[in-house]
Amino acid sequence: MNKLFSIGFWSATARFILRNRTLILIVIALITVFFGMQWKHMRFTYSEANLLPDDHEINLEYKNFLDKFGEEGNLIVLGVKDSTLFTPEKFSAWNRLSDDLKKASAVEFTLALSDLQKLEKRTDSAGFKMVPFLNDTVFTTENLKQYKYELFSKLPFYNGLVYSPDKKSVRTAVYLHKDIVNTPVRKAFIDTVLIPRVRAFEAETGINVHTSGMPYIRTLNSQNIIDEIGMFIGAALAVTSIIFFFFFRSFRATLISMVTVIIGVMWAFGILGLLQYEITVLTALIPPLIIVIGIPNCIFLINKYQQEIKQHGNQAKSLQRVITKVGNATLMTNVTTASGFATFILTNSQLLKEFGIVASINIIAIFLLSLLIIPILYSYMAVPKNKHLKHLNKGWINGFVNWMEKMVRGHRIAIYISAILLLCASIIGIFNIKISGSLIEDMPKQAEFYKDIRYFEKEYKGIMPMEILVDTKRPKGVMNLATLKRIDELQEYIEEFPEFSRPLSVAELVKYSKQAYYNGNPEYYQLPNSQERTFLLSYAKNSAKNTNLLSSYVDSTGQYARITTFMSDTETERFDRIEEDLKAKIIKIFPPERYDVSITGKALVFQKGTKYLVNNLIISLSLAILLIALFMAWMFRSMRMILVSLIPNLLPLIITAGLMGFIGVPIKPSTILVFSIAFGISVDDTIHFLAKYRQELIANNWKIKKSVYAALRETGVSMFYTSIVLFFGFSVFTISSFGGTVALGALVSATLLFAMLANLLLLPSLLLSLERSIANKETLKKPALKIIPDDEDEETEVDDEINPN
């Protein structure tokens, strides 16, 4: 019954496609136009990808912080390290630069040398007044020398904020309006105001300016992603078309395949626009992925068409058999590939969900396009000539197939020993894998903004914000001296970590107030004692009202305080130890019955997000294995066949994981995709081989050896072709400037190469060694779905529907 249904369905499908050729092409054209119109809805991400679900504890704490103090990542910094800066002309140019930036509507305020204010004690009331640091309008060598001395020696408040701890570099802080940080306005300001103005300053003075800060990094990083989409698509098309032509030696076949995958790419962009998903570092990979995955569909279909033409020369019969015989097998392999991507939908990460949805939809779409376009276009063309079919008899291909058969026949023990040795070595490598939660590890190492990140890490200890939120549980509790001392004690502890910059909090303002009260003597830059508490805190409170910078470190109720530090790029294991130490110290300093203290900020959120994704990797990969195992159980109706089929597909994943451990590639958001993608694709070869193997068993009256060798010779060429295309196709990603994308491309390519060898050598060997227990009529039952129709399953011809001339 199933057999009749399968034959009837695909025969009806073939008749429908070939009898409605023109209509189908028109429908494809209209759908393509529709998707093209959706391109205008595509959006590029203006915020960091949050890898955690919205209801995760870390996200809730971060949202609570944002509710109290607003967006934290609104700081852009400009740094210079040049001894000639404190000369009249260059110093004036540096001040003009900050003044020009301050005038931009996107900028809330700047903190530059020209903006610096000093606290001075008022004589007419209890409080301080803010006076400009720079009193002169005309700068000379003498007064600049005095300003430089005063800045570095008498204003410890600005240490780490305006000048570096070693007092050799200075910087300007540009604070953007918080409501535009995650909008296109941010990009417009950086592209049209910041970068041109900085370049003009560099040209005028000859001083190199280092620019950084999360808004700046995100903008340039996003632009790199956008630039690489076109590069990937072009490279994927070039590589796959060259390999395709090398195999088929036919411009016509190559052109048809390229047209098919280009339409698939247009649909991919259209689906992204239709769903209004942002283009992230993951979704940017989908268009070239569609090319790489779509080409094997074209290979199977065109190869079968040419084999049929060579066999009997009837074009109509050939086209119909292409659809009925290859269509079903190609559908199954595309469904398993899509399943590998679709498992990401079941995770709680929005980033992975969107990637899984769009990728799985487009894989099914490229299958439909291949099944429709290739037979229809060939139906309008002349029958291929003998020169187009020469590749079917390539000597080197036959040599490769003979080598495989020789290995399986006489060297199965060597194959098993090699597999076991690789497995053992890989397990050792797996124990060396590290997890990376670095925000900048995957960024282009040659990009100027990456070098600038390293500059600020060296001079100022980093640019990635980490926040500590202190809830005093009572209004105006922050300005209590006991609370300020606790905050200061925690800051001193944070400063002991080389990974953190000097923390900022309201305690620094109070210290500065005491210094100002004692006529600016830097020795008094400290918190007041109990005798000074009453009058100094009242001074500090009055001063805070007029201090634009530090008023943001206490909320409007005075109940919540914020301690801000910046973190250098830190390994995940080291970060975990720091976090553990910090939490222990916080509990010791802030009694939980009196204070609620939480660690948050973008650096922490990203670190936790990476760990969360690793857990999701295990879940999604397990789901992919389970889903595909159930799928194969349904197809082959044999539990033993499931085990045999999974071994050659799991081994390459283990080898790749071991390889990552040995060469030092960490588990991170970019590399966690490798396993599910590779498994979903590599299992395709297994399905093709086992489907053909079962067909041969029936045809050869359950003669196992003869069936294995026949299946190997029949499917080996197509498996080799598609694996080579996939290998070089995924290798395209290694030209990326993003380290994670390079690792993804290289690791998937390596995994698929291992998978090809496992399916061509290990799988047939297992079938031969276990032949008595898995290959008989009882254990290998009739499949639920007929993947490859038998040769005797004849189709109804449609010669009258096709006029090849």
Please determine, for residue 794, whether its predicted confidence score (pLDDT) is greater than 70: no
What is the pLDDT averaged over residues 363-387? Answer: 85
- Based on the fold, state whether residues 382 and 266 are members of the same structural domain: yes
**The predicted structure's pLDDT at residue 356:** 87
Under the banding of pLDDT at 50, 70 and 90, the label for residue 634 is confident
Q: Do 566 and 636 sit in the same domain of this protein?
A: no
* Model pLDDT, residue 785: 46
3-state helix, strand, coil split of the chain in percent (to 5) is: 65, 10, 25
> What's the total number of domains in the chain?
2
Q: What average pLDDT is seen over the chain? A: 81
494 — pLDDT class (breaks 50, 70, 90): very high
- pLDDT bracket for residue 486 (50, 70, 90): very high
CB 180, CB 105: distance < 8 Å:
no
DSSP state letters, 195-216:
HHHHHHHHHHH-PPPEEESHHH
The helix or strand, by DSSP H or E, that contains position 464, with its residue range, turns out to be: strand 464-471
| Mean pLDDT, residues 259-276 | 91
Sign of CA dihedral 752, 758, 759, 760: positive
Say whether pLDDT at 258 is over 60.
yes
Answer yes or no: do 381 and 306 share one domain: yes
The region, left, alpha or beta by phi > 0 then psi within -120 to 50, assigned to residue 479 is alpha
Mean pLDDT of 276-281: 80
Is residue 696 within 8 A of residue 711, CB to CB? The reply is yes
Say which range, 442-456, 574-588, 617-631, has the weakest mean pLDDT.
617-631
Instruction: Extract the tokens encoding 521.
Output: 């003597």
How far lies 330's CA from each of 83, 326, 345, 368, 502, in Å?
67, 6, 23, 10, 60
Query: Do 614 and 590 belong to one domain?
Result: no
What percent of the chain lies above the pLDDT cut of 90? 20
Distance between CA atoms of residues 470 and 561, nearest Å: 5
Its domain, for residue 367, covers 2-47+219-431+606-801
Is 344 within the bounds of a domain? Answer: yes
618 and 590 share one domain: no
> Which pLDDT score, from 0 to 100, does residue 5 have?
45
Instruction: Indicate whether 97 pLDDT > 90.
Output: yes
Q: What is the pLDDT of residue 1?
A: 43
Q: What is the pLDDT of residue 802?
A: 54
Query: Could you tell me if 650 and 575 lie in one domain?
Result: no
List the single range of 217-221, 543-547, 654-658 with lowest mean pLDDT.
543-547
Q: Please state, in angstroms and as integers, the Cα–Cα distance from residue 344 to each residue in 198, 256, 365, following that order.
A: 43, 32, 18
Q: Which amino acid is at 379?
A: S
Distances (CA, A) of 562 to 11, 77, 185, 268, 474: 70, 20, 27, 44, 15
Model confidence at 685: pLDDT above 50: yes
Q: Do 407 and 495 share a domain, yes or no?
A: no
Dist. CA 503–CA 23, nearest whole Å: 68
- Mean pLDDT within 502-514: 86
The whole-number pLDDT of residue 185 equals: 87
Residue 672 covered by a domain: yes
Per-residue model confidence (pLDDT) at position 478 = 87
pLDDT tier at 483, thresholds 50, 70, 90: very high
Confidence of residue 669 (pLDDT cuts 50, 70, 90): low
Name the band, by pLDDT with cuts 50, 70 and 90, for residue 593: very high
The alpha carbon dihedral of 614, 620, 622, 624 has a sign of negative
**Position 632 pLDDT exceeds 80:** no
pLDDT in tens, 282-340: 787 788 888 888 888 888 888 788 778 777 778 888 888 888 877 777 887 788 788 77
CA 431/CA 417 separation, integer angstroms = 22
* Chain segment 521-548, per-residue pLDDT in tens: 888 888 888 777 766 666 665 555 545 5
Distance from chain centroid for Cα 86? 43
Answer with the residue of higher pLDDT: 620 or 191.
191
Q: What is the pLDDT of residue 778?
A: 46
* Residue 460 resides in a domain: no
Most confident of 168-172, 216-220, 516-520: 168-172
- Angle separating helix axes 506-517 and 533-544, nearest 10 degrees: 110
Q: Which helix (H) or strand (E) holds 119?
A: strand 117-121
692 within a domain of the structure (yes/no): yes
Please tell me the pTM assigned to this model: 0.75
Residue 532 CB burial class (10 angstroms; 0-12, 13-18, ≥19) = middle
- Last residue of some domain: 541, 567, 600? 600
**Is residue 243 a part of any domain in this protein?**
yes
Do 544 and 634 share a domain, yes or no?
A: no
Out of 539, 568, 600, a domain closes at 600
pLDDT of residue 317: 84
Average pLDDT estimate for 422-449: 81
DSSP string, 339-400: HHHHGGGGSS-HHHHHHHHHHHHHHHHHHHHHHHHHHHHHHTSPPPPHHHHGGGG-HHHHHH
| Residues 518, 628 within the same domain | no
**Judging by beta carbons within 10 Å of its beta carbon (0-12, 13-18, 19+), is residue 406 exposed, middle or buried?**
exposed
Answer yes or no: do 547 and 408 share one domain.
no
CA angle 721, 722, 725 (to 5 degrees): 90
What's the order of all strands across the beta sheet hosting 75-80?
107-111, 170-176, 75-80, 210-212
Instruction: Say if residue 792's pLDDT is above 50.
Output: no
Q: Is the pLDDT of residue 643 over 80?
A: no
- What's the pLDDT score for residue 423? 92
Percent of the residues in the chain that have a pLDDT greater than 70, as a whole number:
87
For the segment 205-223, the average pLDDT, to the nearest whole number, is: 87
The pLDDT value given to residue 536 = 67
CATH code for position 407: 1.20.1640.10
pLDDT exceeds cutoff 60 at 801: no
Cα–Cα distance between 670 and 615 in angstroms, integer? 14
**What is the pLDDT at residue 793?**
45
Which of 330-344, 417-431, 578-592, 688-702 is least confident? 688-702
Q: Answer yes or no: do 573 and 616 share one domain.
A: no
Pick from 340-349, 486-495, 548-557: least confident: 548-557
| Final residue belonging to a domain, choices 578, 600, 622 | 600
Q: What tokens were used for 381?
A: 């063309």
245: in domain: yes
Return the minimum-mean-pLDDT range out of 31-40, 417-426, 528-537, 758-767: 528-537
Task: Work out the average pLDDT over 243-270.
Answer: 87
Average pLDDT over residues 332-360: 81
Average pLDDT of 157-174? 89
Higher-confidence residue: 293 or 613? 293
In-domain check, residue 436? no
Does 569 map to a domain?
Answer: yes
Contacts of 244 (CB under 8 A, 6+ apart): 253, 254, 257, 295, 298, 299, 725
Q: Are residues 651 and 726 in the same domain?
A: yes
